[in-house]
Amino acid sequence: AQKITQTQPGMFVQEKEAVTLDCTYDTSDQSYGLFWYKQPSSGEMIFLIYQGSYDEQNATEGRYSLNFQKARKSANLVISASQLGDSAMYFCGAEAGFGNEKLTFGTGTRLTIIP
Amino acid sequence: GAGVSQSPRYKVAKRGQDVALRCDPISGHVSLFWYQQALGQGPEFLTYFQNEAQLDKSGLPSDRFFAERPEGSVSTLKIQRTQQEDSAVYLCASSRLQGNSYNEQFFGPGTRLTVL
């Protein structure tokens, strides 16, 4: 079983600044995946980025990067050059193994970008 | 191509009524997941199908919850004798079935259920 902790209920960031959203996880699985989803006010979950537990390089997808520190069990999301459209809820999550597994999510961080 | 669709988008039920929520996954996606998202919380896993087989239903909160996917495509989540605590957004997600690599789960827009 996995447990995801997101300690920042809300964050306010000036437009164009970088922002780091914190995520720590607890799992007994040897193989696991970590990921981030964005949920705008419209409600749909939008996949952002994925990191496998055996991946040595931090994952990057455009303006998103995942700062993976395995020993500290953290998987922070970094958004560079924030935009107004980045305002949304962000959920960190994990799955046991790789692929076709149920996802376990944290409670989320509400990010608000200030113009 | 079309994404995951869910219907209805909004459902209001009186306590004790039965409801049925529909999910149309992306064509060709073998895996289908249902999640429940309470207000202010992250989604929580309910059940998982691979084609028509329900491989995991460990997250269903009670025997009032039932899910099916009889032909391996469309899925229905049924809640019998709804209670106020069932009020939540019900999210459906689908993914391809591949080997040992991450398969992104594509989510639908959800059905917001309100039980009065």
Residues pairing with B96 in the sheet: none
Q: Pick the residue of A8, A102, A104 with the most B CBs within 10 A to test the interface with B by mutation.
A: A102
At B85, phi and psi to the nearest 5?
-70, -10
Q: Report residue A102 as tokens.
A: 């149920």
Peptide bond into B8 cis (omega under 30): yes
A100:B50 CB<8 A: yes
- Interface check for B50 against chain A (CB to CB < 8 A): the answer is yes
CA distances from A81 to A14, A34, A44, B54, B87 (A): 9, 23, 23, 43, 37
Question: Least CB-CB distance to A103: which of B45, B100, B110?
Answer: B45
Reading the block at residue A85, the tokens are 């459209």
Residues 6+ apart with CB under 8 A from B62: none
What values do phi and psi take at B51, rounded to 5?
55, -125
Beta bridge partners of B24: B5
**C-beta atoms of A100 and B97 within 8 A:** yes
Residues 41-70, chain A, touching B (beta carbon < 8 A): 42-47, 50, 52
* B109 contact residues in A (CB cutoff 8 A): 42-44
Q: What is the pLDDT along chain A (115 residues), one digit of tens a residue?
A: 789 999 999 999 999 999 999 999 999 888 889 999 999 998 899 999 999 999 889 999 999 999 999 999 999 999 999 999 999 999 999 988 766 678 999 999 999 999 9
Convert the pLDDT of each residue in B13-69 to its tens digit: 999 999 999 999 999 999 999 999 999 999 999 999 999 999 999 999 999 999 999
